[in-house]
Amino acid sequence: MADMVTVRRENSVATLAIARPDKRNALNADVVAALQEEFDRLDADSSVRVIILTGEGPVFCAGADLAYLQRINANNVLENAEDSETLMRLMFSIRASRTPTIARINGHAIAGGFGLALTCDILVAASPARFGFTEVRIGFVPAIVMKLAIERAGMGRARELLLRGHLIDADTALSYGLLNHVVSEDALDETVDGIASEFATLVSPQAAAMTKQLMRDVAPRDLEDAMHFASRQNAISRETDDFREGIASFLEKRKPSW
């Protein structure tokens, strides 16, 4: 499984890439397991300030590969339930991670590949990339990715994307709220590296982790409950080492030491 993904570290920035360019970085059980193992390791490492998720070659991820589809077509209900749970755990791990994440979308992101990108906090795409949930066109249901699509695009946009199974271009995906940035292929690395550098040098890792958790916690609450909860979390955040260092560095007009 080790050759299914690659990990590159530059100081506190980690890049995790699917390494199957000859298969358009398509997903199978081994790829999912390798991504889970490496992502968990990176997220548990306090020296990692940001994780970039990408694919090697010209495609981000084309969804499930043919052999994988043939295998799950032959599975029984229990085997398919276990397989589905494995993919769900990977996507949830990335979505719920302590560490900020960036999807570096170097090319097409389709079906589960698009879902994988949507687990990230910030999505940066090269302009030629195409996106879509094509599951319904092979009799599949885009179940695991559904919450991610609705959260980003809203029910109206997500309903059409999930039901029609068509592909959209990067500018359309941006207008739907599915992406944060669309740039030229030449500017992709510069843009991603610039955002990653901010996380690595300017953003408090404790504050980022707490902010990510707080966004998950307040989302299902009504306004009053959310604001009361957030007020308590605000008070707790003031007791962290990063808060004290951030205030001290601001008053002393120096860069913080996280």
Catalytic residues: 135
| Closest alpha carbon to 158 in 146, 144, 170, 172 | 146
CA geometry: angle at 117 spanning 110 and 189, to 5°? 105
| Closest alpha carbon to 8 in 258, 189, 149, 191 | 189
Q: Is 64 helix (H, G, I), strand (E, B) or coil?
A: strand
Cβ–Cβ under 8 Å, residues 20 and 6: no
Is 241 exposed, middle or buried, given 0-12, 13-18 or 19+ CB atoms closer than 10 A?
exposed
Q: Where are the alpha helices (DSSP H) in 127-237?
A: 146-164, 170-175, 188-201, 205-218, 223-237
Determine the number of helices (DSSP H) and then strands (DSSP E) in the chain: 10, 9
